[in-house]
Chains A and B, each alone.
Chain A
Amino acid sequence: MSIKTFRKGGIHPDADKLTADCMPERTPLADKLTIMLSQSIGAPSQPVVAAGAHVAAGELIAKAGGFVGSNIHSPCAGTVKKIEPARTPQGLWQNAIIIVPDAEQPEPQFAGRGDAEIQALTPADIIAIVAEAGIVGLGGATFPTHVKLSLPPGKKADTIILNGAECEPYLTCDDVLMRTRAREIIAGARLMKKATGAGRVIAGVEENKPEAIKAIREAAAGIPDVEVTVLKKKYPQGSEKQLIQACTGRVVPAGGLPVDAGAIVDNVATAYAVWEAVALGKPLYERIVTVTGPNLEGRGNYIVAVGTPLETIINDIGGLPDDTEKVVCGGPMMGKAASTLDSPSTKGLSGVLVLPESMAMRRKPDPCIRCARCVEVCPMGLEPYMLAQLGGHKRWADAATRGVANCLECGCCSYICPSSRPILDFIRLAKAESRKLKK
């Protein structure tokens, strides 16, 4: 079996999968859950409960604020205390529903579906269930899954790609999910296949997760429409366009969507959530979060209720090490640094990475020596050094003609730069500003 990969660029950072053998454990419920009303890309959700209302676990507390938007459910039985702005880990204020959990938490009851019932579901039924359950892309992009499954008119997808690459260093939440829930993941992917009318599922897993590959292969054995592809360990293998190229050989046109190459990419955790919603009737209100760091003693993979403050998650496993200087929400390549730890977890939170002082600060930049490493590693075939320079000189239009809009913000250029130049920072600036030009 050959190992597949994308063709252009990429880097090989140390994997540092410190928590690969930590099976998921449930963390205790926090005293107070802060559930952000923006859990996905798109319009913020509209609360359907008022302060003082009592809610059960899995009860709808906010509905999608538009077609691109998602429902939100309570992770526990409790009382809605108030609806007020709360701070995201990045320091932005957004409306949130504050829930105080009851002391007694009865086992949540959902109406599951039997095999025959699942077989009888039409594509529209599946999409409706997914929308109702508030499922969003759990790889970190948090795009509402029901929107992704509703193909634009005239577009056809023949392949569902199940993203188990988990190419970000440190993160292991998808790895352990694949090891423990492979059958459910494959079942969820096949439900998405049915929902979109695709003909096959390709599960792509990076080679550094042999246990997960084994589990997924076993779960897919004997199912003719499911293929398992082993991917090379290379970042950003799990990026949509790169993954489609690795798994199918097809190239998504510049500026296009995966569906333009006949593919839909979904994270393994999203597939699992789809299965839970369809088979168990359970909405998405908790997820596996990798809590890790070089010096974090209690590191592991934890099942965390949406809305749990980061501080609670960390304190439950023994607290921050003394040398902590930075906490990242997500992986080290694309995750966002948290400015405050009293902010809550969200559906998109794949990891909490606790970094010591030695890794917290950037090195002082040296002049660009034009070594061309950034050009070599850019998976999108851009010229990062040039885009960053144009960004620095506020030449937004020139950056646009050099394709800055194609940038994935994967961070390969900034990672590889021997001069430690803030390449991606300037590219982000140029990308944002050149987008404004078009309007």
Chain B
Amino acid sequence: MQKKLIVSMSPHIHTPRTVSGTMWNVVVALLPALAVALWTFGLPALTVTAVSIATCLLTEWAIDRLLFRRACTLSDGSAMVTALLLAFNLPSILPWWMVVIGGIVAIGIGKMSFGGLGCNIWNPALVGRVFLLISFPAAMTTWPEGVGSGMLPISGASADASSGATLLASLNSGQATAGSVDLMDLAVGQMNGSLGEVGSIAILLGLAYMLIMRIVSWHIPVAVLGSAALFSWALGGNPLLDLLAGGLMLGACFMATDYATSPMTRTGQIIYGVMIGVITIIIRRFGAYPEGVSFAILLMNSFTPLINRYCRPAIFGAAERRKTA
């Protein structure tokens, strides 16, 4: 009796990369920023993060098992990424039940209602954040006073405005001026804001890790940050301040680069990134909200299918064919 052989179509070898490996690597890339958040905001940051993780994972599990009646998809790590990113987009003193609502909306509506991983049109964590921002505008813009848990006393504008406003809000309302800001403090996380907004250097560290592991390419982050800086400068602002304050760094490195909601070609990714940068600055300068990154990313997420339609790769030899035809 001859041995039975397995038959399949080529190729017969495969990259060692997997979806879950990729997602868990993103989680690793988020850890430095999480550490900075804990250092800056202390225990409340941990509570928000833990509640967000618990809600997101539980929501995905429940929808998988009870609604879709399929195998649980938690092990692919994408719910964990969404949970961390949602927490990074919330103030540390947000009531826990609001975090729960955010988590349910992010996973339930932002992701699972479209069919789950890879099918969503908008970044799930941002769907959760914007839902909360519109539903609970006051709570979502109330920040801890003085950010007392930090080992260093907070300096710069936000400390002067002891109401605990974010730097961008203070700048917007004229309570602070660009001149009174210590950019170094912004870079290492000594400022007020959502959990993940504060540690620019930690975020860049995470980006560097993702670039080295080839999880993301440089195109989107560079396009977002470059265009925001350039546009800010063109409007007479301080580009560095716009880069370091608020959620731009987090958005450019971790939210705009989300695979499912960003374009498929390099050209498309650059157009998408540039537009996010420009829209962010427009909202910051002219909009009612002091912060515009989430809206900019969600807006451009909506344009991604259109960008994919018009920014196709050039087929090998197509130009030569037109020449000869």
Contacts and interface: CB of A to CB of B under 8 A. Distances in A.
B291 to A, nearest CB: 27
B15 A253 contact: no
A371 B78 CA distance: 13
Contacts of B315: 254, 380-382, 403, 406
Contact of A252 (B21, B118, B259, B320): B320
- Majority SS of interface residues in chain A? loop
Interface string A386-424: 000000000000000011001001010011111110101
Contact of B11 (A332, A366, A418): A332
Nearest to B325: A253
A99 interface: no
Contacts of B19: 366, 369, 418-419
B116 A367 contact: yes
Contacts of B324: 253, 256, 260
A424 B11 CA distance: 8
A328 B260 contact: no
B3 A324 contact: yes
A337 B5 contact: yes
A191 to B, nearest CB: 29
B259 A381 contact: no
A402 B17 CA distance: 28
A379 interface: yes
B10 interface: yes
Nearest to B214: A373
A427 to B, nearest CB: 11
A369 B117 contact: yes
Interface in A327-351: 327-328, 330, 332-342
A326 B6 CA distance: 5
Nearest to A13: B13
B13 A332 contact: yes
A328 B317 contact: no
B10 A254 contact: no
A378 interface: yes
Contact of A415 (B2, B11, B115): B11
Nearest to B17: A418
B9 interface: yes
Contact of A372 (B8, B9, B265): B265
Contacts of B312: 383, 402
B259 A370 contact: yes
A251 interface: yes
B316 A424 contact: no
Interface in B262-299: 262-265
Interface stretch (A29-37, A42-50, A354-362): A354-362
Q: How big is chain A's contact interface, by range?
A: 35 or more
Contacts of B265: 372, 375
A255 interface: yes
B259 A371 contact: yes
B9 A416 contact: no
B321 A256 contact: yes
B12 interface: yes
A424 B2 contact: no
B284 to A, nearest CB: 29
Contacts of A378: 313
Contacts of B262: 370
Interface in A296-346: 320, 324-328, 330, 332-342
Contacts of B134: none
Interface in A259-277: 260-261
B7 interface: yes
A381 B5 CA distance: 35
Given A255-B321, A367-B116, A419-B19, A362 B313 contact: no
B12 A326 contact: yes
A252 B11 contact: no
A369 B318 contact: no
A252 B5 contact: no
Interface string A51-75: 0000000000000000000000000
A366 B23 CA distance: 13
19 contacts: A13-B13, A13-B15, A253-B324, A256-B320, A256-B321, A261-B320, A320-B3, A324-B3, A333-B11, A337-B8, A340-B5, A362-B8, A369-B259, A372-B263, A380-B315, A383-B312, A416-B17, A418-B22, A424-B11
Given A8-B316, A256-B320, 6 more contacts: A326-B5, A337-B10, A369-B259, A406-B315, A409-B10, A411-B10
